[in-house]
Structure formats: C-alpha cells, structure tokens
Chains A and B, each alone.
Chain A
Amino acid sequence: MNELKAIPPILTNLAKAAKKQQNTDESQVFLTLADLFSKTAKRDTNLETIEGSLQEKLKTGYPVLQEQAAAIGDQGVLRTLTWGKKVTTIQKSLIHRHRKTGEALLSGQDIYICEACGFIFLGEKSPDICPICKAPSKRFSKVN
C-alpha cells in the first residue's frame, strides 16, 4: 500500500458504516481516531485558489477516471464519479458566485447539505428529493 495522505475521510466513512451496522461504540472510536489523525489546516488560501483547485479536479481528475472506470465496467466507481463531479460543479459555482456577489449571496438564505452525496442547496426548505443522488429530504441537514 502506498503511503496514504488522507486518513480522516476514510475513518469517518468507516464510522458511518459501523453505525449503520449498529456498532455504535466502534463508530465512536473511528470518529475519535479521525480527529486524532486530522491534519492542521493550511495557511494562505483564498476562494480563488480553491475555485481553481476544484476546476482542475473537474478538468483532469474526474474525466480520466471516468474513462478508466467505464473501460473496466466498475459501476460503483462510475456512480461515485458521477455524483462527485456534479457536487464539485456546484461547489465551484457557489464559490464563483460568492466571489462575484460577496456577502449578498447567502444573506437571508439557509444552506442545506445532502448527507448522502454532498449536494449543497440554498433556500428556505430542503428539497423533497436530492437532485443528484435522489436521497429523501430527511437526509438533508442544515448548515449553521
């Protein structure tokens, strides 16, 4: 195995899996470990840099993998890539709009996130069904 640089998302994903298997103690251990393995956040960044990084993922990261996953017929990976690409597009567009309109973009708007795929929704009430992954509205949580 190559050296892994991103341990926390693997561990929080396993925490969710353990919880679904009704192993609540193990789920909590995975969460605690995820915290312990978290890296300290980086310095010197701005929205423009982050938008550029998302754009690069959309331009090179996703398409190459989509082609490969299609070639070997891995439906699971293709599903991840389809959702991920759409969610990344939304993330990038939100940043872009915020850079253009500033604080006005979110004023008076609630933000909801689909816990299944990461879709971000601005509005008064979460959608009945997630437009990206079709999860029901109860899978949405509000961002404070």
Chain B
Amino acid sequence: MALCFLARTVYSDIRHNFLPHYLLAAAIVVITPLFFSVSELDSRQAAQPLEMIISLTGTVLLTPVFMPEQNESIRDLIRSKKAPYLLTCMIRLLIGLLLLAVLTGISVLYMKKCHSQVTFRHFTGTAASAMALGSIGFFTAGVSNNVIIGYMASLLCYILNFIARDKLGIFCIFSMMNGSYDEKKWIFVLSFALILSVFMYFKLIRKY
C-alpha cells in the first residue's frame, strides 16, 4: 500500500510538475562538456566545472519542491487528501536529492573517463555545493510560499560566491577550486539544517 502510494506520487509529480526541472538539470550536465573542457584536468581545474556549473543542478532540482501548491486551489485539494502533505514534499525532496547525486556522479565519472584527476571527494564536494544551493532555494521558497523567491535566494548565493568567494569563509561553495575541502562539511550541515527547519516550520507554525 505504502509502495503503491509512493509510486503514484512519483509518477504524478514527474508527469505534471517536475519533468521540466529534471530535464533542465540533465541538460546542465549534458551541455557542460560542450562548453568547458573536462579532459585531462588536475584536481583544482576539475573542481571548476563541477562547482561552478554542475552545482546549479541543486537550484533546479530542490527549489521547486513546493511549487505545485503555490496555486491555492491545488494546495487545498492536496491538503484534503488522506496522504500527509509533508510526506509528499519529502518524497519529492528525496527524488531531487537522488537525481542530484546521480547527475553529479555521472559528471564525475565522465571526467574520470576523460582522464581528469577526480576522486570521491569531488563527488561529495560537488553534491554538497549543489545541496547548499538547492536547500537555500528550498528553504526560502517554503517559508515565503513563493518559488521565485526561492530561485532568487539560491542564485544570489551563487552570484555572491562567484564574485566574492574568498570572503565567505566556511560558507564558500566553490572551495575545491581553491584546493580546500574543509568548507564542505559546514555547508552540508547548513543544508541539512535548512531542510529540517522548513519541515519544522510547516509542522509547528503552519500546522500542516
């Protein structure tokens, strides 16, 4: 029964709401090697396309989790259903995270195949950066109930890193490009805290 619900939710969400986002995330991964070299790069050089481009999949996959219910009619309809709303959101989030991991994995493996010096750290580091961008979007979209604000916050964070990454300390999402990995555990913890706080907010304040 639970599996049936899960399958129905996944199918319905993909079909009606999230297919464009999944395709866009896949497109980011596919077009990256067309514009940027991914062959024969050393560890730092390999981090550039991974952190600067592949991490954007986080914004695309995690920010729109609450998007379908921005329409009040749909929100009321969803809340009237037997299945808990937050569970539906959690499933969407998990699918987003899974896809994020798969797409990052594909990128890293492809670079490995192209003789770039990538390791498991590149995979986890890129996934952490993508998760950070995505969770900022997820958090702001959830709290403001406006997915545009989610994209805005996520991309502003990206722009800030783009312009002033040296000044961001432990919140730098492009740290591997500077040869440092220590920031990744902090941004991973921050991402997890942001995701958790959205669910707490929905549960305790909005009483979903």
Chain A complexes with chain B: no
